[in-house]
Amino acid sequence: MSGPPEKVEAGAPHKSDRPATNMRLNYQQQNTAGTDKNPGGALQWLPCTWDHPQDLRSQLERRRQAAKRSVPLDCGCGTRDPLLHTCTQPPFSEHALDAWRDAAWHVLETGHMPLVPLEVRCALWRRPADRQLAELFHEGCGGAVA
């Protein structure tokens, strides 16, 4: 059973009127002695005070600036951003390449073209038995990088 809507004071914002992106929870306990019978009463909604834009361009610019401030990595490749750092990743094992090949064949059998990562395509191309398959994957995706 649903009754009449609850009465709300005039001018008081309703919970659903508050955008979640501009609000955050304040987890400070009102009662530090732990005698609060209503634990939900200790949480308060406070407006977010973050005044920086959150669009993708500004996020990437802040990341680039942070990477410029950091020291170069020890490998000597010249990159400062650990997210883009790939020179110390181990090469694909034979087992991993076999798994990529078998999974791609399975997708091909369903009538779709698999989008295999460029590193895997290159590693498959280096194997003489899988060279034609790697070329098929590369032509099938139009050279797109996954």
pLDDT digits (tens, 9 = 90+) for 77-87: 777 777 777 77
Strands, E assignment, the chain = 23-26, 44-47
100 with 126, same domain? yes
Per-residue pLDDT tens digits for 100-134: 999 999 999 999 988 888 889 999 999 999 999 99
Locus of tokens 């973050």:
50
Q: Are 95 and 83 in contact (CB under 8 A)?
A: no
132 with 103, same domain? yes
Locus of tokens 């280096």:
126
What does each C-alpha distance from 18 to 7, 22, 42, 67 come to in angstroms? 18, 8, 19, 35
Q: What is the dihedral of CA 83, 86, 88, 91, to 10 degrees?
A: 140
Residue 130 lies in a domain: yes
Average pLDDT, the chain: 74
Q: What integer pLDDT is reported at residue 56 of this predicted model?
A: 83
Q: What integer pLDDT is reported at residue 29 of this predicted model?
A: 40
Residue 2 lies in a domain: no
Residue 115 lies in a domain: yes
Q: Which residues contact 118 (CB under 8 A, 6 or more apart)?
A: 145, 146
Q: What integer pLDDT is reported at residue 23 of this predicted model?
A: 41
Q: Are 132 and 139 in contact (CB under 8 A)?
A: no
Q: Using the predicted structure, report yes or no on whether residue 26 has a pLDDT greater than 70.
A: no
Domains identified in the chain, total number: 3
Residue 75 lies in a domain: yes
Q: Which domain holds residue 60?
A: 53-86
40 with 57, same domain? no
> CA nearest 28: which of 43, 15, 13?
43
Residue 37 lies in a domain: yes
pLDDT band at residue 138 under the 50/70/90 scheme: confident
Per-residue pLDDT tens digits for 33-77: 455 566 566 667 777 676 666 788 888 888 888 888 888 777 777
